Structure 1
Amino acid sequence: MPSLEGAPVELINRFSERELLTGFLAAVRAGEGRALVLSGDAGLGKTALLDDMAANALGLRVLRVSGMQSEMELAFAGLHQLCGPLLDRVEALPTPQQLALQTAFGLAEGPPPARFMVGMAVLSLLSEASREQPLLCVVDDMHWLDRASAQALGFVARRLGADPIGIVFGARTPTDEVAGVRELRLGGLADQHAHELLSFALTGPLDTRVRDQIVAETRGNPLALLELPRTMSREELAGGFGFPGTAPLTGRIEDSFARQLDALPDDTRLLICLASAEPSGEAKLIWRAASLLGISHVAARPATEVGLADFGQRISFRHPLLRRAAYQSATAEQRRAVHRALAESTDPDTDPDRRAWHRAQATDGTDEEAAADLERSASRAHARGGPNAAAAFLEQAAALTVDPARRADHLLAAAHAHMSAGSYDRVLELLAIVRAEPLTELQSARADLLRGNVAFASGLGSDGPPLLLKAAKQLEPLDLDLARETYLNAWMAAMFAGDLAVGGSLADVSRAARGLPVSAQPDEAELVLDALARIIVDGPAAAALVLRRAVSAIVDASLTPEQVLRWGWFAHAAAVGNWDFTNWRFLLEREVKVLRTAGAFDLLPIVLAALGTVTTWSGEFAASTAMFAEAETICEVTGAPADAIGPTMLACLRGDEEKAVPLIHSMIAAAEVTGQGMSVTYANWVAAVLYNSLGRYSEALAAAVASSESSSDLFIALWSLPELVEAATRTGDIPAAEAALARLAESTTAGGTDVGLGLEARSRALLSSGDVAERLYLEAIDRLGRTPLRPELGRAHLLYGEWLRRDNRRVDARHQLKTAHEMFVDLGMRAFAERARRELLATGERVRQSAAESENTLTAQETLIVQLASDGLTNPEIGAQMFLSARTVEWHLRKVFGKLGITSRRQLAAALHQNGDLLNR
Structure 2
Amino acid sequence: MSSDGRPEHLHGRAAECRALRSVISTVAGGDSQVLVLRGEAGVGKTALLGYLSEQASALRVLHVAGVQSDMELAYAGLQQLCAPLMEHLGELPDPQRRALDVAFGRGVGEPPDRFLVGLAVLSLMAAAAQRQPLLCIVDDAHWLDQVTVQTLGFVARRLLAEPIALVFAARDDGAQPLTGLPELIVRGLSDGDARELLDSVMLGGIDPPVRDRIVAETRGNPLALLEVPRNASSTELAGGFWLSGSASAPGAVETSYVKRVQSLPAPTRRLLLVAAAEPVGDAALFLRAAAALGIPIDALAPAEAAGVIEFGPRMRFRHPLLRSAAYRAADLADRRAIHRALADATDPEADPDRRAWHAANAAAGPDDAVAEELQNSAARAQSRGGIAAAAAFLERSAVLTADPHLRGARALAAAKAKRDAAAPAAARDLLDLAERGPLSELQRAQVARVRAQMDFVRSRAGEAGAPSVRETAQALLDAARGLEPLDDYASRESYLEAIAALMYAGRLGDPGALTHAAQAALAALDRAAELSRPVDFLLKGVAGRITQGVGAGAESMRIGLDHMCIQAAADDRDVLRWMVPAFPILQESSAHELWDHATVHQLAAAAVRAARNAGALAILPRALVYQAGVHLVAGEFRTAATLVEEANAITSATDHYAAVKYHALMLTAWRGDAAEAERLIKATEADGTSRGEGRVLGLTGYAAAVLYNGLGRYDEALAAARTVCEYEDIGFYSWCLYELVEAAARSGQRDTATAAIDDLADRAGASGTDWGLGTLAAAQAMLADDADADALFTEAIERLGRTTIAVHRARAHLVYGEWLRRVLRRTDARRHLTEAHDMFVRMGADAFAERARRELAATGEKVRAQQPSSGGELTAQEAQIARLAGEGLTNQEIGAQLFISTHTVEWHLRKVFAKLGITSRRQLRTMSWAS
Judge conservation of contact 2:391–2:421 (CA < 8 Å) in 1.
no
Paired position in structure 1 for 2:83:
84
Paired position in structure 2 for 1:317:
317
Give 1:196 deviation, angstroms: 5.8
Which residue of 708, 711, 723 corresponds with 1:706? 723
Judge conservation of contact 2:589–2:732 (CA < 8 Å) in 1.
no
Give 1:339 deviation, angstroms: 0.5
Q: Secondary structure at the match of 1:522?
A: coil
Q: Which amino acid aligns with 2:558?
A: R
Aligned positions of 1:337-416 closer than 5 A: 337-416=337-416
Per mean C-alpha deviation after superposition, the further-off stretch among 636-645 and 372-381 is 636-645
Which residue of 795, 799, 802 corresponds with 2:815? 799
Which residue of 788, 794, 799 corresponds with 1:783? 799
Paired position in structure 2 for 1:618:
634
Q: Which amino acid aligns with 2:734?
A: L
The separation in 2 between residues aligned to 1:559 and 1:413, in whole angstroms, is 30
Q: Which amino acid aligns with 2:892?
A: P
For structure 2, the residue ranges without an aligned partner over 5 or more in a row are: 1-6, 463-468
Give 1:167 deviation, angstroms: 1.8
Distance 1:210 1:110, change over 3 A: same
Q: Which amino acid aligns with 1:57?
A: A
Aligned positions of 1:816-855 closer than 5 A: 816-840=832-856, 844-855=859-870
The separation in 2 between residues aligned to 1:904 and 1:402, in whole angstroms, is 69
Paired position in structure 2 for 1:495:
503
Residues 1:520 and 2:530 are matched in the alignment = yes
Distance 1:700 1:529, change over 3 A: same
Q: Deviations over 1:27-62 (max 9, x none)?
A: 221222112222333233322232232123111111
Judge conservation of contact 1:65–1:140 (CA < 8 Å) in 2.
yes
Paired position in structure 2 for 1:670:
687
Paired position in structure 2 for 1:73:
72
Q: Secondary structure at the match of 1:70?
A: coil
Distance 1:200 1:799, change over 3 A: closer
Residues 1:326 and 2:334 are matched in the alignment = no
Residues 1:465 and 2:473 are matched in the alignment = yes
Judge conservation of contact 1:289–1:342 (CA < 8 Å) in 2.
yes
Give 1:78 deviation, angstroms: 0.9
Give 1:792 deviation, angstroms: 1.9
Which residue of 531, 536, 555 corresponds with 1:545? 555
Give 1:188 deviation, angstroms: 3.7
Q: Secondary structure at the match of 1:597?
A: helix
Residues 1:689 and 2:701 are matched in the alignment = no
Give 1:362 deviation, angstroms: 0.3
Per mean C-alpha deviation after superposition, the further-off stretch among 729-738 and 475-484 is 729-738
Give 1:526 deviation, angstroms: 1.0
Q: Secondary structure at the match of 1:152?
A: helix
Distance 1:630 1:21, change over 3 A: closer
Judge conservation of contact 2:557–2:590 (CA < 8 Å) in 1.
yes
Per mean C-alpha deviation after superposition, the further-off stretch among 828-837 and 779-788 is 828-837
Which residue of 762, 765, 768 corresponds with 2:778? 762
Judge conservation of contact 1:201–1:227 (CA < 8 Å) in 2.
no
Paired position in structure 2 for 1:253:
253
Judge conservation of contact 1:487–1:513 (CA < 8 Å) in 2.
yes
Which residue of 897, 901, 904 corresponds with 1:888? 904
Q: Deviations over 1:718-756 (max 9, x none)?
A: 111122222223333333223222322222344321111
The separation in 1 between residues aligned to 2:249 and 2:759, in whole angstroms, is 71
Residues 1:480 and 2:488 are matched in the alignment = yes
The separation in 2 between residues aligned to 1:495 and 1:436, in whole angstroms, is 34
Judge conservation of contact 1:465–1:503 (CA < 8 Å) in 2.
no
Paired position in structure 1 for 2:647:
631
Per mean C-alpha deviation after superposition, the further-off stretch among 624-633 and 529-538 is 624-633
The separation in 2 between residues aligned to 1:443 and 1:591, in whole angstroms, is 31
Paired position in structure 1 for 2:287:
287
Judge conservation of contact 1:449–1:471 (CA < 8 Å) in 2.
yes
Q: Secondary structure at the match of 1:715?
A: coil
The separation in 2 between residues aligned to 1:846 and 1:213, in whole angstroms, is 81
Aligned positions of 1:298-309 closer than 5 A: 298-309=298-309
The separation in 2 between residues aligned to 1:679 and 1:905, in whole angstroms, is 43
Judge conservation of contact 2:744–2:750 (CA < 8 Å) in 1.
yes
Per mean C-alpha deviation after superposition, the further-off stretch among 823-832 and 732-741 is 823-832
Q: Which amino acid aligns with 2:540?
A: D
Could you state the TM-score of these two structures normalised by the residue count of structure 1? 0.91
Give 1:470 deviation, angstroms: 1.9
Give 1:367 deviation, angstroms: 0.7
Distance 1:143 1:503, change over 3 A: farther
Residues 1:297 and 2:313 are matched in the alignment = no
Distance 1:233 1:520, change over 3 A: closer
Distance 1:762 1:16, change over 3 A: closer
Distance 1:659 1:904, change over 3 A: farther
The separation in 1 between residues aligned to 2:341 and 2:196, in whole angstroms, is 44
Per mean C-alpha deviation after superposition, the further-off stretch among 325-334 and 67-76 is 67-76
Per mean C-alpha deviation after superposition, the further-off stretch among 874-883 and 49-58 is 874-883
Distance 1:236 1:687, change over 3 A: closer
For structure 1, the residue ranges without an aligned partner over 5 or more in a row are: 1-7
The separation in 2 between residues aligned to 1:808 and 1:197, in whole angstroms, is 87
The separation in 2 between residues aligned to 1:772 and 1:646, in whole angstroms, is 36
Give 1:247 deviation, angstroms: 5.2
Judge conservation of contact 2:887–2:925 (CA < 8 Å) in 1.
no
Distance 1:868 1:506, change over 3 A: farther
Q: Secondary structure at the match of 1:41?
A: coil
Judge conservation of contact 1:159–1:883 (CA < 8 Å) in 2.
yes
Residues 1:565 and 2:581 are matched in the alignment = no
Paired position in structure 1 for 2:466:
none
Judge conservation of contact 1:540–1:750 (CA < 8 Å) in 2.
no
Q: Deviations over 1:98-149 (max 9, x none)?
A: 2332222122223333333222222221111111111111111112111111
Paired position in structure 2 for 1:4:
none
The separation in 2 between residues aligned to 1:29 and 1:823, in whole angstroms, is 46
Judge conservation of contact 2:150–2:653 (CA < 8 Å) in 1.
no
Q: Secondary structure at the match of 1:69?
A: coil
The separation in 2 between residues aligned to 1:551 and 1:197, in whole angstroms, is 71
Residues 1:599 and 2:615 are matched in the alignment = yes
Q: Secondary structure at the match of 1:513?
A: helix
The separation in 2 between residues aligned to 1:793 and 1:524, in whole angstroms, is 32
The separation in 2 between residues aligned to 1:242 and 1:805, in whole angstroms, is 89
Paired position in structure 2 for 1:5:
none
Residues 1:715 and 2:731 are matched in the alignment = yes
Per mean C-alpha deviation after superposition, the further-off stretch among 438-447 and 373-382 is 438-447
Aligned positions of 1:83-482 closer than 5 A: 83-173=82-172, 174-189=174-189, 194=194, 197-198=197-198, 213-233=213-233, 235-236=235-236, 244-246=244-246, 248-434=248-434, 436-437=436-437, 439-458=439-458, 459=460, 460=462, 461-482=469-490
Per mean C-alpha deviation after superposition, the further-off stretch among 853-862 and 232-241 is 232-241
Give 1:549 deviation, angstroms: 1.7
Q: Secondary structure at the match of 2:552?
A: helix
Q: Which amino acid aligns with 1:99?
A: R
Which residue of 532, 539, 561 corresponds with 1:529? 539
Q: Secondary structure at the match of 1:542?
A: coil
Paired position in structure 1 for 2:519:
511
Residues 1:679 and 2:696 are matched in the alignment = yes
Judge conservation of contact 2:638–2:843 (CA < 8 Å) in 1.
no
The separation in 2 between residues aligned to 1:12 and 1:768, in whole angstroms, is 82
The separation in 2 between residues aligned to 1:43 and 1:790, in whole angstroms, is 60
Judge conservation of contact 1:834–1:849 (CA < 8 Å) in 2.
no
The separation in 2 between residues aligned to 1:148 and 1:667, in whole angstroms, is 32
